[in-house]
């Protein structure tokens, strides 16, 4: 799992540090950098599979678009701390990347990258632009020739000859997935093209890719979430329209109605999608959701968080999500809540709000979400500044 990020010069993240838990709820005013942080995590993780510019182009961005307006720096750096499973043991690793723009070609290039053991200080990977790549391989090292790198070095190394730590690290990073607003319009139906695509997710595709154990677990979760409201959830293909849909039987009193994913409500599609996504993961999977609560009725929030915490505590999945809903946050462990705000220089900062005694004392008579709704931005900022 990721335990910490330090990001510099990425949009509003001028000099940003954050400590993460197995479940981390990101809260704060609109425009303070919650989504930006999730985008930065996504960018760093995707760089082990794609070139930097490919990632940016898919989002309609250029390198200059991600540079912070609060700094004159022309390079962007990402540093993450991870706890990586290696069999029965765990290693604490620091993975760092710095990127910049090549003045001649205009391409986004790797400036520096390193992978270091936190406890011993040993380097498994060391690279600086224009220099050779030093890579650990068991008790010896491999030196790659000088070259210009357009992605993370992890994208181009040969895992067969590299140290075991690289395989374990890349497994964790590749299982880190960001789901933006998770628009139900895009989740309802899967075309034949999307069913075959490895880059896009939707509800029919997620359900069809589950193994027997995952499907059983999914049905159990839906039962805990909705009782006996839904039954017989299955995938149906339309060979004429070349589409795949989800079909369910919905019980209303003594009546039973068949519904397709085209006919389900916005909130129900989101709930089914969130649970199917979580069920598709395994140990060390990291899921990030932007605005998790959108469209979800309050009646489902309590059982939903019971299920999400079960995934985190008993199945080894890490969950990071942003939320604007005070009611949603009432069901989150107060020590899993991270408050985002703007510092005096305009950059984004984060703080574990309930580590502050003055804030924590209020939980004696208010829920966490209530506290956030009752204290305005200026009052919270005053308390945070006084606690430093």
Plot region of 240 (φ>0 → left; ψ -120 to 50 → alpha; else → beta): alpha
Element of type H or E holding 102: none
E strands within the chain?
Answer: 2-10, 13-19, 23-28, 76-86, 89-101, 108-117, 123-128, 133-137, 140-144, 176-179, 190-191, 230-238, 243-252, 255-260, 286-289, 318-322, 337-342, 348-352
Residue 196 is predicted with a pLDDT of: 36
How much is the average pLDDT of 364-374?
92
Question: Residue length, the chain?
Answer: 388
Q: Is 86 a domain residue?
A: yes
pLDDT-wise least confident of 127-131, 238-242, 297-301: 238-242
How many CB atoms lie under 10 A from the CB of residue 361?
Answer: 10
Burial of 272 (0-12, 13-18, 19+ CB in 10 A): buried
Q: Which residue has the higher pLDDT, 377 or 359?
A: 359
Provide the whole-model pTM. 0.90
Asked if pLDDT for residue 191 goes beyond 60, the answer is no
Q: Which residue has the higher pLDDT, 247 or 74?
A: 74
Residue 192 is predicted with a pLDDT of: 38
The pLDDT-based confidence of 235 (bands split at 50, 70, 90) is confident
Q: What is the mean pLDDT of the chain?
A: 86
Alpha-carbon separation of residue 266 from 7, 27, 57, 139, 186 (angstroms): 35, 23, 30, 55, 11
Residue 201 is predicted with a pLDDT of: 61
Rounded CA gap, 89 and 228, in Å? 42
Q: What angle do CA 17, 14, 32 make, to 5 degrees?
A: 80
Q: Is 260 a domain residue?
A: no
Q: Is 29 a domain residue?
A: yes
How much is the average pLDDT of 37-63?
94
How much is the average pLDDT of 161-183?
82
How much is the average pLDDT of 208-222?
87
- Domain of residue 65: give its range: 2-175+317-387
Give the number of domains in the chain: 1
pLDDT-wise least confident of 141-145, 174-178, 293-297, 373-377: 141-145
How many CB atoms lie under 10 A from the CB of residue 74?
Answer: 12
Asked if pLDDT for residue 45 goes beyond 90, the answer is yes
pLDDT tens for residues 257-299? 887 777 788 888 888 889 989 988 888 899 999 988 888 889 9
How much is the average pLDDT of 227-248?
75
Cα four-point dihedral sign 121, 77, 171, 179: positive
Q: Is 342 a domain residue?
A: yes
pLDDT tens for residues 131-165? 766 766 555 566 666 677 899 989 988 777 777 88
pLDDT tens for residues 78-113? 999 999 988 778 899 999 999 999 999 999 999 999
Q: Is 56 a domain residue?
A: yes
The pLDDT-based confidence of 181 (bands split at 50, 70, 90) is low
Q: Is 107 a domain residue?
A: yes
Q: Which residue has the higher pLDDT, 174 or 142?
A: 174
Q: Is 310 a domain residue?
A: no
DSSP string spanning 142-173? EEEPP---SS-GGGTS-TTTS-HHHHHHHHHH
How much is the average pLDDT of 213-239?
82
Asked if pLDDT for residue 309 goes beyond 80, the answer is yes
Q: Is 217 a domain residue?
A: no
């Amino acid at each position: 799992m990721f335990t910490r990020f330090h990001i510099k010069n990425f949009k509003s993240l001028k000099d940003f540090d954050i400590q993460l838990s197995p479940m981390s709820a990101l809260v704060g005013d609109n425009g303070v950098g919650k989504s930006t942080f999730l985008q930065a995590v996504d960018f760093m993780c995707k760089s082990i599979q794609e070139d930097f510019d490919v990632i940016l182009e898919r989002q309609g961005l250029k390198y200059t678009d991600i540079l912070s307006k609060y700094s004159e720096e022309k390079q962007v750096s990402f540093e993450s701390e991870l706890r990586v499973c290696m069999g029965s043991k765990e290693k604490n690793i620091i993975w760092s990347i710095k990127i910049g723009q090549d003045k001649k070609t205009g391409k986004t290039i790797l400036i520096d990258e390193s992978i270091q053991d936190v406890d011993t200080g040993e380097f498994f990977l060391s690279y600086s632009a224009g220099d050779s790549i030093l890579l650990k391989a068991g008790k010896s090292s491999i030196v790659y020739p000088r070259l210009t790198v357009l992605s993370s070095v992890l994208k181009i190394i040969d895992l067969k000859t590299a140290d075991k730590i690289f395989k374990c690290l890349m497994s964790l990073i590749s299982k880190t997935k960001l789901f933006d607003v998770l628009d139900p319009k895009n989740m309802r139906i899967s075309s034949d093209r999307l069913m075959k695509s490895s880059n896009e997710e939707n509800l029919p595709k997620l359900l069809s890719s589950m193994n027997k154990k995952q499907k059983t677990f999914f049905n159990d979760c839906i039962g805990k979430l909705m009782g006996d409201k839904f039954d017989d959830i299955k995938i149906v293909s339309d060979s004429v329209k070349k589409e795949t849909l989800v079909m369910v039987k919905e019980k209303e009193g003594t009546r039973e109605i068949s519904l397709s994913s085209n006919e389900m409500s916005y909130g129900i599609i989101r709930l089914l999608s969130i649970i199917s996504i979580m069920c598709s993961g395994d140990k060390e999977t990291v899921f990030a959701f932007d605005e998790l609560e959108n469209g979800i009725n309050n009646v489902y929030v309590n059982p939903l968080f019971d299920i999400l915490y079960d995934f985190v505590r008993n199945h080894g999945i890490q969950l990071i999500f942003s939320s604007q809903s005070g009611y949603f946050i009432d069901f989150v462990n107060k020590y899993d809540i991270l408050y985002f705000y703007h510092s005096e220089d305009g950059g984004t900062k984060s703080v574990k709000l309930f580590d502050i005694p003055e804030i924590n004392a209020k939980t004696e008579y208010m829920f966490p979400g209530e506290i956030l709704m009752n204290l305005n931005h200026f009052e919270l900022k005053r308390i945070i500044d006084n606690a430093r």
